[in-house]
């Protein structure tokens, strides 16, 4: 840990966790990731494994120009803002009467 990350509402949308390997990382949707990789495969590639299947995407920092990087960061930022808003709406609905008391059985 200890690598720089970029957050909105306390949630990460981008990191420099792979900077030693020459990558920045973006948290995108799988569909967004697919579009970025299709358009600029020399700049964007899925992070290997499960994170990549969920949309986590490497950015080749040496190849990405300022405009491309700015657009990609804005996309990840907007997605995080949207997800943060959805989370607040859902959690308010759950807090009502959905909690079980200790010892109470699930039906």
Q: List, for residues 38-81, the tens digit of each pLDDT value.
A: 999 999 999 999 999 999 999 999 999 999 999 999 999 999 99
Is 107 domain-assigned? no
Is 58 domain-assigned? yes
Question: What pLDDT is stored for residue 89 in this prediction?
Answer: 55
Q: Is the pLDDT of residue 95 over 60?
A: no
Specify the number of domains making up the chain: 1
Is 74 domain-assigned? yes
Is 99 domain-assigned? no
In this prediction the pTM is: 0.77
Is 62 domain-assigned? yes
Question: What pLDDT is stored for residue 1 in this prediction?
Answer: 59
Rounded to whole angstroms, how far apart are CA atoms 69 and 84?
22
Domain extent, residue 78, equals 5-91
Rounded to whole angstroms, how far apart are CA atoms 40 and 36?
6
Residue with tokens 């080749």: 60
């Amino acid at each position: 840990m200890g690598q720089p990350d970029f957050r909105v509402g306390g949630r990460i949308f981008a990191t420099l966790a792979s900077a030693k390997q020459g990558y920045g990382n973006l948290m995108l949707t799988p569909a967004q990731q697919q579009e970025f990789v299709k358009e600029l495969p020399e700049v964007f590639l899925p992070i290997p494994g499960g994170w990549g299947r969920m949309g986590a995407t490497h950015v080749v920092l040496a190849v990405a120009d300022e405009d491309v990087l700015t657009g990609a960061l804005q996309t990840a930022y907007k997605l995080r803002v949207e997800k943060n808003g959805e989370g607040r709406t859902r959690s308010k609905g759950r807090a009502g009467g959905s909690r079980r008391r200790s010892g109470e059985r699930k039906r």
